[in-house]
């Protein structure tokens, strides 16, 4: 297998132009932490983007950062932290989940996060990763260099390629440089814990809290077995299912909103514990990185994206055992673990169709990833549109062919 290592965009364009002319499929490589995410596919060569690394622009006062697609988060996050800022979409680290290796932000690239559109627990408030991309540079499968977007939110006109490429898993273009907006890091974070709630009651709690004026930035529910396994003592020590709501911001605001939120939810449940500072950060980081399922050997891990109020309905319809799931995004994200011998519950497809959800197989052995749809099959019209987009940017299907869907 031939390995290509372009050092600049002109070399990258030449390689892709030649590959397109010959119809040679290539596997895009960044830093390698997400190679096991997506459908397995066959390629005749690899195309490393490792040379496109480094922060080229950071203007804290303008809340904007530009970096090469292969820039590791280990370089970006300390820079932002020093200025009291952050990537507000809480970029997830699935390295341990996918590989079983220890967390290593040196292998987690900005381009990989954007290509997979990975967002953490703050998504209901801050939006997805794609909502934070202001502009990018790249090369299409035909070898054409392009630039889209810019450095401010209102800079996008016409066809928004930033949103199109985010979540495309490298099947449309090779990204070389990405500009993202950054936001101030919260002065204070506090998480309210409720214990012993059912998934249904927890979802009611989410709906009321997220629909209020109290600016909740995280809402999750852990069944009793997962709560007991938490490395946060105030969570594991409750001995029951744990439902958590997060508040962030200036200290006076957090305190006032906590009092108002507690009063609003009193008819449903009252908080029994609070997580401050370090404990609160550690709790949400664990959910961001799917840590409850990292050590599950020979287990297929699914993410089910659902309408925000439908998490509990999905749990009931799938008749899940308590240890097999947890809810995030205020009920809009259901993490599900199944034995690899039976990775897809019989009711999964019907449940998602009824609720309007979408399933992604995040982790499984290669045989299962080849046999099962890693991404839920698209409706006929959507699939036809996706095919036309692929044909316009990569007509010879040389970029990660088949990683999302067969034929794309």
Percentage above 90 pLDDT, the chain: 78
Q: Indicate the length of the chain as a whole number.
A: 408
Q: Which residues contact 389 (CB under 8 A, 6 or more apart)?
A: 164, 172
328 pLDDT above the threshold of 90 = yes
323 pLDDT above the threshold of 70 = no
243 pLDDT above the threshold of 80 = yes
What pLDDT is stored for residue 155 in this prediction?
A: 55
Burial class (CB in 10 A: 0-12, 13-18, 19+), 163: middle
Burial class (CB in 10 A: 0-12, 13-18, 19+), 343: buried
The stretch 289-299 carries a mean pLDDT of 91
More confident residue, 350 or 24: 24
Instruction: Give residue 17's pLDDT band: very low, low, confident or very high (50, 70, 90).
Output: very high
Residues 90, 93, 98, 102: what is their CA dihedral angle, to the nearest 10 degrees? -150
The pLDDT tens digits for 333-342 are 999 998 887 6
DSSP 390-404: HHHH-TT--BSTTSS
What pLDDT is stored for residue 154 in this prediction?
A: 56
More confident residue, 249 or 319: 249
The stretch 348-369 carries a mean pLDDT of 88
The DSSP bridge partners found for residue 57 are 66
The stretch 225-247 carries a mean pLDDT of 96
Confirm if 389 and 164 have CB atoms less than 8 A apart.
yes
Question: Closest Cα partner for 95 from 87, 86, 85, 105?
Answer: 105
The pLDDT tens digits for 306-322 are 998 899 999 998 888 76
The pLDDT tens digits for 53-103 are 999 999 999 999 999 999 999 999 999 999 999 999 999 999 899 887 777
CA angle, 380 then 381 then 382, to 5°: 95
Confirm if 176 and 13 have CB atoms less than 8 A apart.
no
385 pLDDT above the threshold of 90 = yes
177-206 core/surface letters (b: 16 or more CB in 10 A; e: else): bbbbbbeeebebbbbbbbbebebebbbbbb
Stretch among 12-21, 172-181, 253-262, 344-353 having the lowest mean pLDDT: 344-353
Q: How, if at all, do strands 45-48 and 26-29 pair?
A: parallel
Q: Where are the alpha helices (DSSP H) in 337-404?
A: 348-355, 366-371, 380-393
256 pLDDT above the threshold of 60 = yes
Confirm if 73 and 109 have CB atoms less than 8 A apart.
yes
What pLDDT is stored for residue 309 in this prediction?
A: 86
Instruction: Give residue 370's pLDDT band: very low, low, confident or very high (50, 70, 90).
Output: confident
Instruction: Give residue 297's pLDDT band: very low, low, confident or very high (50, 70, 90).
Output: confident
The stretch 154-171 carries a mean pLDDT of 81
The stretch 164-189 carries a mean pLDDT of 96
Instruction: Give residue 158's pLDDT band: very low, low, confident or very high (50, 70, 90).
Output: low
378 pLDDT above the threshold of 80 = yes
Question: How far, in Å, CA of 216 to CA of 207, rounded?
Answer: 11
What pLDDT is stored for residue 265 in this prediction?
A: 97
Confirm if 325 and 337 have CB atoms less than 8 A apart.
yes
2 pLDDT above the threshold of 70 = yes
Q: Which residues contact 316 (CB under 8 A, 6 or more apart)?
A: 199, 200
What pLDDT is stored for residue 343 in this prediction?
A: 63
């Amino acid at each position: 297998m031939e390995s290509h290592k372009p050092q600049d965009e002109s070399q990258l364009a030449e390689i892709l132009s030649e590959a397109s002319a010959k119809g040679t499929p290539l596997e895009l490589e960044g830093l390698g932490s997400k190679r096991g995410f997506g459908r397995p596919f066959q390629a005749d060569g690899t195309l490393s983007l490792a040379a496109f690394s480094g922060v080229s622009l950071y203007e804290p006062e303008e809340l904007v950062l530009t970096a090469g697609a292969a820039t590791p988060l280990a370089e970006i996050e300390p820079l932002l932290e020093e200025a009291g800022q952050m990537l507000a979409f809480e970029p997830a680290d699935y390295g341990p989940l996918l590989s079983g290796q220890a967390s290593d932000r040196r292998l987690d690239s900005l381009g990989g996060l954007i290509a997979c559109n990975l967002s953490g627990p703050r998504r209901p408030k801050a939006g997805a990763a794609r909502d934070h991309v202001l502009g990018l540079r790249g090369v299409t499968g035909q070898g054409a260099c392009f630039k889209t977007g810019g450095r401010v939110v209102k800079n996008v006109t016409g066809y928004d390629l930033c949103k199109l490429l985010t979540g495309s898993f490298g099947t449309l273009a090779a990204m070389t440089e990405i500009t993202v907006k950054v936001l101030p890091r919260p002065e204070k974070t506090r998480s309210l814990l409720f214990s012993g709630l059912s998934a249904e009651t927890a979802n009611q709690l989410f709906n009321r809290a997220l629909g209020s004026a109290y600016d909740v930035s995280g809402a999750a529910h852990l069944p009793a077995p997962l709560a007991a396994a938490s490395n946060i003592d105030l969570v594991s020590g409750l001995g029951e299912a744990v439902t958590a709501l997060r508040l962030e911001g200036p200290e006076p605001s957090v305190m006032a909103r906590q009092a108002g939120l507690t009063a609003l939810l009193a008819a449903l449940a009252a908080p029994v514990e609070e997580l401050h500072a370090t404990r609160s950060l550690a709790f949400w980081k664990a959910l961001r990185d799917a840590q409850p399922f990292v050590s599950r050997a020979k287990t297929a891990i699914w993410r089910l994206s659902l309408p925000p109020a439908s998490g509990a309905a999905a749990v009931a319809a799938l008749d899940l055992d308590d240890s097999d799931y947890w809810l995030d995004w205020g009920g809009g994200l259901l993490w599900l673990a199944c034995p690899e011998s039976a990775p897809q519950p019989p009711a999964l497809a019907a449940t998602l169709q009824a609720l309007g959800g979408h399933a992604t197989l995040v982790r499984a052995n290669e045989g299962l990833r080849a046999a099962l749809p890693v991404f839920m099959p698209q409706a006929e019209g959507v699939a036809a549109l996706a095919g036309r987009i692929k044909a316009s940017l990569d007509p010879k299907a040389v970029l990660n062919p088949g990683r999302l869907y067969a034929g794309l």
